[in-house]
Structure 1
């Protein structure tokens, strides 16, 4: 019996020479909306440890990633709209390993003007 279990197999874009990587633990209290819309300079791979994460990338429908599940995003020009706690009653925790393009910040917030210009690229919002 092996102790290794495949959780995710993704085909990321090319990773440039000189890229750096970091692994971070994110902890959101109940109901926390997470980081405002942003983008990463390189791909990011995540695993939810506890709770549920509301996850939305540009061009993809919003989804809930539950404890024990994974997510990934390509980075680059793609806007990451949501990564907050999907539940108002329990905290959530997730680990993300991110690869950073050389000489660029890992995370850049997206301003309201750009969000408006790219609104046509966002998937339809769920009806509440």
Structure 2
């Protein structure tokens, strides 16, 4: 989503060029769990890494791929590749996060993610094989 935000203030006393600011992504304010803790993580996936098994988060996550390519899949959405310079969003909660793999076999993928989670609870909550089977109809068709 692209929104019109004021990201620059004129500085008549400046002796250098102004900062360059580029809106990469924008989403409506997320539903944040009560007692939330905000974490910023730098994640490095080795070449070919499958990432984490299917899981969920207690709150929303907003991320940005620094380098490489992330194979990303959320419940109800087709898998997609997020490349360096692109952002991703997930609402967390009950939604299953199926994939967060490195799409490159010969290079690392690095991304930063900001997560709002319930304090004292794990950041990643594994999803059982039984639940995956029970919710199979909610997963988008795979290529």
Q: State the TM-score, normalized to the length of structure 2.
A: 0.83
Q: Does 1:109 align with 2:135?
A: no
Q: Which residue of 2 aligns with 1:80?
A: 97
Q: Which residue of 1 aligns with 2:139?
A: 122
CA displacement at 1:4 relative to structure 2: 2.0
For structure 2, the 5+ residue unaligned runs are: 1-17
Per-residue Cα deviation, 1:8-27 (whole angstroms, up to 9, x for no partner): 10124321342110001111
**Could you tell me which of 46, 65, 80 is aligned with 1:48?**
65
Cα distance between partner residues in 1 of 2:20 and 2:34:
32
CA displacement at 1:102 relative to structure 2: 4.3
CA displacement at 1:3 relative to structure 2: 2.5
Q: Which residue of 2 aligns with 1:66?
A: 83
Greater RCO, 1 or 2 (C-alpha within 8 Å, sep 6+): 1
Per-residue Cα deviation, 1:54-99 (whole angstroms, up to 9, x for no partner): 0000000000000000001000000000001011111110110000
Considering only aligned residues, what root-mean-square deviation do their CA atoms show, in Å? 1.3
Q: Which residue of 2 aligns with 1:39?
A: 56
Cα distance between partner residues in 2 of 1:7 and 1:125:
27
Q: Does 1:100 align with 2:100?
A: no
SS in 1 for 2:88: strand
Per-residue Cα deviation, 1:84-122 (whole angstroms, up to 9, x for no partner): 101111111011000013453321011100000000000
* Count, aligned residues: 126
Per-residue Cα deviation, 1:15-42 (whole angstroms, up to 9, x for no partner): 1342110001111111100000000000
For structure 1, the 5+ residue unaligned runs are: none
